[in-house]
Each structure stands twice: as C-alpha cells, then as structure tokens.
Structure 1
Amino acid sequence: METTASDFSTDVIEASRTTPVLVDFWAPWCGPCRQLGPTLEQLDAERDDWRLVKVNVDEHNDLARQYGVRGIPAVKLFVDGTVEAEFTGALPRHAIEKWLDEHLPSEEKETLRQAQAALRDGRREDAAELLAPLAESKEASPETRLLLASALVFDAPERALTLIDTLDVADPALRQQREAVQTLGRLLTRDPDLPDTDTAATYREALAALREEAFDDALSHFIDVVREDRSLDDDGARKACVALFTLLGPDHPVTKTHRRTFDTSLY
C-alpha cells in the first residue's frame, strides 16, 4: 500500500507495534526501484509476518528527509515504532529473504535475548529452562544450542558437550564461545594424567575450585600455573582462563579482577 505524510504515523509507526512494517522509499523514474518493487510486493503477498508500505519520495520528500533517505530505493524495517534495520539498492530476492530472517522479530530471538540476560545475571537455571524447549527442535539455531550448552556446562558438562558435538558456527564470537564450552566441559569430565610436581598440585586445586564453581580461586590457581608451566596438560591452565573469561563475560567481577593479571602472566 502507498502512504502519505499525514497517514505515515498510522500506517507505519502505530501499525509496526503489532506487525513489522517494511517501508520502501521509491520514485517512478528510478530504475532500481522498478526492479525491487515487484520483488517486495511478491514477498509481501507470500508472507504474513510483515507488511509492505511504499513512500513515493517525489511526493513526500519531507518523509525521506526525516528518515535520512539519501539514495533510492531505500528500505527500512519498522518494529515497535522505530527503524530496526535498513538497506539501500535493489537486492535480489534471496538476499532480501536472508535480510528479513535476520532482522524480523521472532519467538526464538526473544527467548535468546531473555536467556542471554539470565546468563549475564548468573541465572543459569533460568536460561536453561528458557532454551531447552527450543533446542529440542530440529530447526533450532546453532546459537540456541550453543547458549543452552553454555548454561549447562557447569551443572551438566557431558550434556553440554553433546549439544555442541557437531555444531557448525561461522561467526567468530560464536566459535570462541563453542571453544570455551568444549574446554570447560572437558576439564570438568576428565581426570588428567599429571606429574607429581608442585605446579601440578596447584593445577589440581584449580580444577577442584572450578568444579565447585569457585571461579575466583580457580582463576588465581590457573594463572599461577600459566606462570610456572604452560605445557602442563597441553596448556590447560591458559585455555581454562580464556574459557572462563569468555563465558563469564568482560563485565563479570571475576573477569575484571583477573583479566589484567592473566594477560601479564603470558609474557
């Protein structure tokens, strides 16, 4: 549907509080607009999780200026009254579908947001309870399974390792998170063969503290081992520190206490 400046608030802003609205800023003389328009209209007819609204910038240049349109076609996705995402130019259908899937709100995305907040607050059981029903689905995203594994790794490390056993993630941050779960899961489920040395004894103390979730003590001992013998348990102490910092996050008090000391211990 076409909208006007006087109807924009109703057709887009208010409507997007119920259903996301995709706004296509276009002009009749614009070749790329004529290429993109039919694709958006076809997608709009096929899907019911968003609706299309078109704005002719020749007739409503004030709206184009208000929303920072500098080139057309310009597409903006409105969710809850604000612009959630946007792109400029005539993208092919498959790229538009990928863009929509990435930015449209969904039950899984909202659950992930709530679970991430729970993990940041240290509420692992709440996060696991939120994620478990989604993770059981064959369509569950790798991020969902990885987040559940992160929530479970200290309480059920074997299950956490199973969840990520065949997980394929491309995003560097998700790969780092997967490696952190793998590292901690292995440390919590195996008894390493260690020499009879003082450094090995400190490493055992670190592992015991880790199993008790005494992260402050665990990191202190692991850092002592990093200083003395990086080769112990295949550099296990350093890997454990990195894994803990990754899962606890940069703002966790334990991370803030030990991160600088750990960094200096490497040199």
Structure 2
Amino acid sequence: MDTPILNEGGAGSPDADLIKNSTTADFMRDVVDASMTVPVLVDFWAPWCGPCKQLTPILEKAVRAAKGAVRLVKLNIDDHPEVPGQMGVQSIPAVFAFQDGKPVDGFMGALPESRVTAFIARLVGENADSGADIEAAEAALAAGDVNMAAQTFGEILQNDAENAQAAAGLAKCYIKTGDLARAEQTLALVPPAKAESAPVTSAKAALELARKAEETGDVEELRAKLAADPSDPQTRFDLALALNAGGDRQGALDQLLTLVKENRAWNDDAARKQLVQLFDAWGPADPATSTGRQRLSSLLFA
C-alpha cells in the first residue's frame, strides 16, 4: 500500500507546518529559509522506490514525535530532479538535514525507526549544544587555521564522543597536516549508526583522495608531462588529483571535466567517478561542488 508516502500534510492538516511535499520552485522557501529557525529534513524519494515506502512513514512518525523541534520536507525526484541532481543524490532514499540554510548531516537507505529517532535526537541536540563551536571550527579549517580547528573539534569530542561532525572535522585536520593514519583512526571511532552521515562520508572521501595524491607526483612535473602529450589521459587525471591536494579545486575540476569531454570512456568512466568523489569530499555546501556539478551535467546531457 503506497498511501502513507503520499500524505502531504495539507493546509488543513495539523502536520502542515511539520511535514510537507515541496517542489524545485519552493525548495528555497521550504528548506533553506525554513532551516534558519528550525532543522529541516529533506526526504528525496520516488513512487517506484520500495525502501522509500518503508522510510517515509518512519520519518513522518519521528518528526511528529519531535513536536516541532524538526520539520520534514519530501521531494519526489521524478517530478523535481534539479535539486537532487545538484546535491549529487546517487540513490534513494536519501535524507539530508539542513540547519542555518545549509546541509549539515544526512544518511542513505531505509534506516529502522530506532536509528531515525536517534538521528533526529542527535541533530537537535548537537545543534543546540555545539553547533556554534562546530561552525567556528569549520570556518577556521576553511581559513587554513588547522591548529585552531583541531583544538575546537577536539574539545567538542571531549564533551560529546559520538559527535560525528566533530570527528569528521578533526579527521580533515589530520588530512591537512598529512597525518593520514591518525585521520583514519579518528574516523574509526565514529559509532556505526553515524558512519554513513554526510560529514563522515565527506571525510572518508577526502582521506581516500589524500592517499591517491601521495602517488601522483609533483604538480609542475605533471604539467610539463601533459604539455608534451596533451592526449595522455593518465597524466591529466594525476594532475587533477595533485591540484586538488594542493588546494586548487578549480584546476582539478578543469582537468577532469576536460577528460570527461575528450575521453569519457577512459578507464571505465574514471574521470566522472573521480569528480563525484571530489564532490563528496568537498561537501554539498562548497561552491566548487555546485559549480562542478553544473558543468558536469552540461557535458553529460548536452
């Protein structure tokens, strides 16, 4: 029976402010703007998706039980593919948590009720207790102040050992300093229930990229090699990884998108797959991710 997933919580429903269906046109209002005052869960689903039919009623029940601490917005990806496409949704069901206008957590697949309830409780609790500290730590990391970021993430973890966002942030600090072993150890401490959350997935992708970058070589040497043979796909691929490791995200995008355009089939679609991993590592809120996804879509669907 498919009826529960189509419950829209219309204007006359007591759930109207808690649970609603949205569209591409209304996504900014229903999700981004609304999340400035209360966390908003976005449920990406489709009518043909069996696991979605299992998950959505569980989400609705958990959101009602939270009594206004969180809202749920459902988006049918068949009718409205633009937003999930920009956010890199590869499979459904996919749930993203928005807070302060940006995605802060999420998970894939149909989780049992206990894990959905724990996810919401963690989201609300972490936003209340440590959201400002995490935002400050992430800002410090983005600004290159790795020591300050690591110290703040570490303090958060001392008070909340299961804070997946802080663990992911601390792991990224270790990655920045080249201590990949400690980054891996930090991610291994994340509880299994949070291992698929968006921040942890991003940190894992960043760790794998860092390992690949260790094998690629020097940027200038790769540039010279590519200049000598512009048709060499492996050198262009390696240069993209080296550029990303050096912080040149735009340069990495340019090289991989060129490879997609000129030789997409190379190495089993490796350039496109590498772009997806970059987007995972950078996170959906990063401007490079948004730009890269748009440029990739233009190439694939031109």
TM-score, normalised relative to structure 2: 0.44
TM-score, normalised relative to structure 1: 0.49
